[in-house]
Structure formats: structure tokens, C-alpha cells
């Protein structure tokens, strides 16, 4: 009986298609219990057909119960993904376009929109969720990641905030302009995006490189930042044995790196976590699919290499060095480090305490490099509590 209900709801999708003229062209393969159908969106048209051997851009797998809850509006795709009730293979970016393409009743699930915002000659891909009148929070991803790295906490934060998750220029679905790809350069795009979105003041949440960019925004435009939460943030390294080699490295050489070994990528991703089993194998596969999809772009490869090089070249010392400048940062700041982080040592927390004695520094002993993925509920609670207390102190 439930299988018939699922099939009927899938075959009814074209009648509820709202994504006309959005330019999306994708084949979505749905695996819902024993029901398998392809939903094909081509610009202003939508059709449902049986899987006929055509390759799918996205495969979405869920139980009949999860699918019907989504169809009733009680659960969103983002919420289902965050709670591991739904898995994705293929393009995560295209998968995000699936749900907003169809009308559904509002039953309490997280609603979101996707929009490309023109900023300083570039196009910034944004996902926006939550009440437009709620206090805004901007989520900034790390090196090689996209806004999808925050899907685990978007729904939770959207209960009290207008959430704006972005793809930085050079990454994900955003355009790949020629530029420096260092923290000041990125921060200029973030503040310009705030202007375009008419956000005068915001909370910032940044992971890894995104944490470093969040700090740069707070240092350069303090009037725009209510408070910031840095999750395992990159920071200027005082010990740089390969400095000369990094200065000589040419990012343009990344154009030659067209193919990446999938197994090596998976092993590398597993090292991001304190406990690699905290996410299912399907998560690793989807993350690799997404990265490789973006990596096809030569400009994306150059952007990645320039950003990586500039993280290492970030000047730590001197009057204009990072640590001296950080000492003057005014915004309330939360820093979360993972004791099991193999990329950014939790010992940076000691330096943060010396340079920002009023900052809140937490070290999670069971965490690796991506707290928002490893411990989403804990991350949401910690961020929300800190932002709430920062706002009360400022009132």
C-alpha cells in the first residue's frame, strides 16, 4: 500500500513543478523503498519515467516513510540528509535544486531557496533558509569544500536565524574569477555579498579556511560582525619549513592535475574525522562525487591551489602580521578545536587565548576537523548559546 502511495506521489511531481525557467537540466534517480523512477528536469519542463539505462546526475535514496514525510512537508530534504534518513550520490549541488522545484505543503520542514548573487563581477551561489526577519548568520566553508559542508546544521540554525550558506568564489557553484585567493581577497567578497543581501550586521560561522576568512572580515569590517564562531580555523603558521618552496610554487601547474585517485581521496577525507565511522560510506562517496565534479573546471583547480598556497604564506609576525592584527579584533569570538584534528592542531587554542583573552576557546577531545559534520547537534547548541550570550552582552 505504501509503495503505491510513493509511486503516486512521484508520478504527481510534474503537476507540482515550480522550477520553470531556472535553467536546471538534470536527471534525478529516486530509490524509495522498492520504487525506482527517474525525474527529468529540463529547463521549464519536468517528466517522470522508468530508469532506462541513462546515467543519472543525482541518485536519491530514502525509505517510503521518509519520502512521504517530505511530501507532506513535515521533513525537508536538508533535514532528512542531516539526520541520515536520506542519502545522495552524484552532484550535491544539483540535488539541492530538486526540492525547491516542487510545491509542497508547509508542515514544518526547513524551507530554503537557492540564488546566484552578482558580487564584484563574480557570481556567488547561496542557500538561504529561515525567517527573513530573523538575525542573519553567514556560513563560510573550508578549502575544497562547498556550502554543502554545512547542510548538517542549516536546519538547526534556521530555527532562530536567517541562514546564508555560500560557495566562496572559486569553489562549488560560484564563478571562478582570477584573483589572489587569500583571506583579504575572500573577505572583500563576503562583505560585498552582505551589501547585496542588504545585511548590515551578521553572525559568521567559518570552518577551517572559512574560519580564517571570518576573522579577516571581523578585523577589516568590525561594524558588520555581531559575533563569529570559528570551527577548527586555519591561522597563520609560525613554523613554516617549506616557505621557500611554497613561494616558488605555481598554482597554474594544477591545470595538469586533471585526475585524482578516488581511493586516496577517500582515505584523506576519513582523516578529517576523529572517528571516521561517524558518517556513512555514502557520505564519503557523495562528497567525492561533488569534489570531482567541481575539479573538472581548470579555474577551480587554480583557485584551490592558490587558496592552499596562501594559507601557508599567511604572514604570522610583524605589525601587519596575522597574530598582531588579531589582537585588535573586537567582535565576540568562539573557537572550537578538535583534539583529534590532524590538519589544524588544537594547540592553536593556546595562541588564541594569548592574543584574544576575551575569546571563548573550546577543545573537543572526541572531534576532528569538521565539528559541524561530526557533532551537528552539539555544534548547533554551542554556537546558538554563544551567539545568544554575545547579543545579550551587547544589548
Write down the pLDDT at residue 219: 97
Highest mean pLDDT among 66-70, 73-77, 265-269: 66-70
Mark out the alpha helices in 114-165 (DSSP H runs). Answer: 151-157
CA distance 382 to 364: 12
Return the CATH number of 112-394, one of 3.40.50.150, 1.10.760.10, 3.40.50.1820, 3.20.20.70. Answer: 3.40.50.1820
Residue 48 has pLDDT above 90, yes or no: yes
Write down the pLDDT at residue 240: 56
Q: How many helices (H) and strands (E) does the chain have?
A: 15, 13
pLDDT digits (tens, 9 = 90+) for 30-39: 999 999 999 9
CB-based contact 162:135 (threshold 8 Å): yes
CA distance 315 to 338: 24
Percent of the chain clearing pLDDT 90 (strictly above) = 71
pLDDT digits (tens, 9 = 90+) for 220-231: 999 999 999 999
Write down the pLDDT at residue 106: 83
Q: Which residues pair with 62 in a beta bridge?
A: 32, 86
Take residue 136 and report the three cell numbers written for it: 542573519
Write down the pLDDT at residue 3: 65
* Choice between 119 and 105, residue whose per-residue pLDDT is larger: 119
User: By CB neighbour count within 10 A (0-12 exposed, 13-18 middle, 19+ buried), where does 19 fall?
Assistant: middle
CB-based contact 119:146 (threshold 8 Å): no
CB-based contact 322:161 (threshold 8 Å): no
With a CB cutoff of 8 Å and minimum separation 6, the contacts of 77 are: 70, 86, 95, 96, 98, 99
Write down the pLDDT at residue 193: 98
- Rg for the chain (alpha carbons), in Å? 21
Continuous segment of H or E residues that includes residue 2: helix 2-11
Low-confidence winner among 151-165, 226-240, 243-257, 353-367 (lowest mean pLDDT):
243-257
Residue 243 has pLDDT above 60, yes or no: no
Task: Give the chain's mean pLDDT.
Answer: 91
Cα–Cα distances (Å) from 190 to 175, 227, 231, 285, in that order, read 14, 15, 18, 30
> Residue 322: left if φ>0, alpha if ψ -120 to 50, beta else—which one?
alpha
Domain ranges of the chain: 2-101, 112-394
Residue range 115-121: mean pLDDT, rounded: 95
Write down the pLDDT at residue 21: 56
CA distance 331 to 123: 28
CA distance 357 to 342: 25
Task: Indicate the pLDDT class of residue 245, thresholds 50, 70 and 90.
Answer: low
Low-confidence winner among 103-107, 188-192, 197-201, 213-217 (lowest mean pLDDT):
103-107
CB-based contact 177:297 (threshold 8 Å): no
Residue range 309-315: mean pLDDT, rounded: 87
State the Cα angle at 314 between 329 and 302, rounded to 5°. Answer: 125
pTM of the model: 0.93
Residue range 124-153: mean pLDDT, rounded: 96
Task: Indicate the pLDDT class of residue 1, thresholds 50, 70 and 90.
Answer: low
With a CB cutoff of 8 Å and minimum separation 6, the contacts of 276 are: 270
Domain 2-101 listed as CATH 3.30.565.10:
no
Residue 237 has pLDDT above 80, yes or no: no
SS3 62: strand
Residue 345 has pLDDT above 90, yes or no: yes
With a CB cutoff of 8 Å and minimum separation 6, the contacts of 329 are: 215, 218, 219, 222, 356
Write down the pLDDT at residue 66: 96
Residue range 176-180: mean pLDDT, rounded: 93
Write down the pLDDT at residue 300: 92
Cα–Cα distances (Å) from 285 to 150, 259, 288, in that order, read 17, 16, 5
Residue 72 has pLDDT above 60, yes or no: yes
Amino acid at each position: 500500500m505504501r509503495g503505491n502511495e510513493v509511486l503516486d506521489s512521484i508520478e504527481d511531481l510534474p503537476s507540482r513543478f515550480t522550477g520553470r525557467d531556472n535553467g536546471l537540466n538534470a536527471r534525478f534517480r529516486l530509490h524509495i523503498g522498492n520504487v525506482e523512477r527517474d525525474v527529468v528536469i529540463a529547463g521549464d519542463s519536468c517528466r517522470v519515467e522508468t530508469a532506462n539505462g541513462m546515467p543519472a546526475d543525482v541518485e536519491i535514496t530514502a525509505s517510503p516513510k521518509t519520502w512521504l514525510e517530505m511530501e507532506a512537508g513535515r521533513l525537508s530534504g536538508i533535514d532528512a540528509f542531516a539526520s541520515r534518513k536520506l542519502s545522495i550520490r552524484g552532484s550535491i549541488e544539483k540535488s539541492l535544486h530538486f526540492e525547491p522545484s516542487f510545491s509542497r505543503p508547509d508542515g514544518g520542514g526547513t524551507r530554503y531557496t537557492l540564488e546566484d548573487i552578482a558580487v564584484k563581477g563574480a557570481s556567488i551561489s547561496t542557500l538561504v533558509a529561515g525567517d527573513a526577519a530573523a538575525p542573519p548568520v553567514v556560513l563560510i566553508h573550508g578549502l575544497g569544500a562547498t556550502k554543502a559542508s554545512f547542510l548538517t546544521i542549516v536546519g538547526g540554525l534556521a530555527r532562530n536565524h536567517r541562514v546564508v550558506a555560500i560557495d566562496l568564489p572559486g569553489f562549488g557553484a560560484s564563478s571562478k574569477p582570477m584573483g589572489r585567493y587569500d583571506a583579504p581577497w575572500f573577505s572583500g567578497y563576503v562583505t560585498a555579498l552582505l551589501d547585496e543581501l542588504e545585511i548590515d550586521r551578521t553572525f559568521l560561522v567559518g570552518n577551517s579556511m572559512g574560519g580564517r576568512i571570518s576573522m579577516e572580515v571581523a578585523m577589516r569590517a568590525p561594524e558588520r560582525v555581531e559575533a563569529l564562531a570559528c570551527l577548527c580555523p586555519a591561522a597563520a603558521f609560525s613554523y613554516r619549513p617549506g616557505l621557500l618552496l611554497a613561494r616558488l610554487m605555481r598554482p597554474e601547474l594544477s591545470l595538469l592535475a586533471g585526475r585524482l585517485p578516488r581511493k586516496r581521496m577517500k582515505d584523506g577525507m576519513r582523516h578529517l574525522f576523529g572517528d571516521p565511522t561517524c558518517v556513512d560510506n555514502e557520505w564519503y562517496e557523495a562528497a567525492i562525487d561533488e569534489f570531482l565534479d567541481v575539479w573538472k573546471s581548470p579555474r577551480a583547480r587554480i583557485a584551490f591551489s592558490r587558496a592552499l598556497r596562501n594559507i601557508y604564506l599567511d604572514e604570522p609576525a610583524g605589525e601587519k602580521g596575522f597574530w598582531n592584527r588579531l589582537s585588535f579584533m573586537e567582535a565576540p569570538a568562539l573557537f572550537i578545536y578538535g583534539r583529534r584534528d590532524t590538519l589544524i592542531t588544537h594547540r592553536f587554542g593556546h595562541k588564541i587565548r594569548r592574543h584574544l583573552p576575551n575569546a571563548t576557546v573550546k577543545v573537543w577531545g572526541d572531534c576532528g576537523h569538521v565539528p559541524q559534520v561530526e557533532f551537528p547537534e552539539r555544534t548547533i547548541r554551542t554556537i546558538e548559546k554563544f551567539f545568544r550570550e554575545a547579543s545579550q552582552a551587547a544589548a
